[in-house]
Structure 1
């Protein structure tokens, strides 16, 4: 099984956060977002936002990527973090945790010129470390999530062009406030899913 840790310095920020600090001898990455940072394309609200903070590296078509982060600091409306999958301007997917209605929600936004938005509440995940996984299969991406205490949940199967030089990595946004700090604890490249109905391994 392939499982390779990705170093934080191998990625490039789309928008530089207020602060980025490596902790535990470089094992963790603590990031502070800028107020108003967000990603969105037109749908419902009409506006376009491309000011979120994504740390991106090349993502090969025959691999999966996982990002893990601590959930303790999420308190305000739309606080969010997770994984960004980037094809091109206006063609991207973000998946992670987002605060809505006062509780953490598993949130996925798929954007092809226009954005959509899906939510699933997970109040029982408060205080845990969340892992978001994206795996490419044929012309699609399978997005899943878990914590140390809760098993994999399949969130979305979405179109994702197979022959593109895509990028992916951790992201953080705080559309409504300053002062959001998120600690990312893990960023790995690993084997792709073998099947939509087979859970990936949770071993490191």
Structure 2
């Protein structure tokens, strides 16, 4: 039996697995009356976003999810510093936005919402390897949050670079699958998250 979850935020309705995650963010925020990510803390945030659209319409859900989560950030050089890798393709096409590419939330959201799907397969392993390189140039004196957002299964095995990222001190890694929950490869998402 298919279970439907309903979540609403700022008058927008969200569907699928994305709803549950956003509902959790909204619930936590309304219960604590404080931002999820403390506004006054320094934090590196690396977003690794699958642009393949391997599940029809999946990229739009992934992109919108990232834009909505960014509402909880205080993006700026003296607060939450962001970098982003957007990846896809059989020939592995990517865009790398280096640390502090966005100076505020509005600039980050403009960039994210301006992205379009480019098709191809999901090559998460290569994107995580680029993430390892990008982590070398982060501010190592502050914590780092890595958020991997995908709509489908990877054509390659991401476990090795996921494990390497997890082992970086003061780093936390999360994965979100925004495609159809019934088609989601749970072991793939868990492999990215745990590196196991």
TM over 0.5: no
More strand by share: 1
| Bigger relative contact order, structure 1 or 2 (CA pairs below 8 A, ≥6 apart) | 1
TM-score (norm 1): 0.30
Q: Higher helix fraction: Structure 1 or Structure 2? A: 2
